[in-house]
Amino acid sequence: MIRDRGRIKWTAMMLPEHVEQLRDWQKEDQHQIREQPDEQQLEEWNYQIREAVERDLSLTVHYWQDEKVMTASGIVRKINRMEGELQLITPTGEVCRVPFVNLKSISDFE
């Protein structure tokens, strides 16, 4: 029977710098690639937002923040064209501001 220490013998060879690099690589693997929406997708979002404003409906918005996809749900409070952002009121009463350039997708309230 071979009495091998397995992983234990290799951990002594890892420098703190190597461990830090491995952790950085794991964080980079979680990042997603941002895709640019096409014109048809932009028109669909425009229609969904206008419909939600007119009928006072809730939307679920997926948007990019620090290379991660975040989700916000709520009623459209304001479309600020000057600032280039969409303002939602969440069910908790919090105001969520989402820049148009960071939008990933829009769907009906789930």
CATH code of residue 102: 2.30.30.520
Residue 74 domain flag = yes
Counting the structural domains of the chain, the total is: 1
Residue type, 27: K
At 6-35, the pLDDT tens digits run: 655 555 677 888 888 888 888 877 767 777
Give the residue numbers spanning the domain of 103: 57-108
45 contacts: CB under 8 Å, gap ≥ 6:
37, 103, 106
At 33-76, the pLDDT tens digits run: 777 888 999 899 889 988 888 888 899 999 988 878 889 999 98
Residue 27 domain flag = no
8, 64, 100, 105 from 45: Cα distances, Å? 54, 16, 10, 8
Residue 13 domain flag = no
Question: What's the predicted TM-score (pTM) here?
Answer: 0.67
Residue 98 domain flag = yes
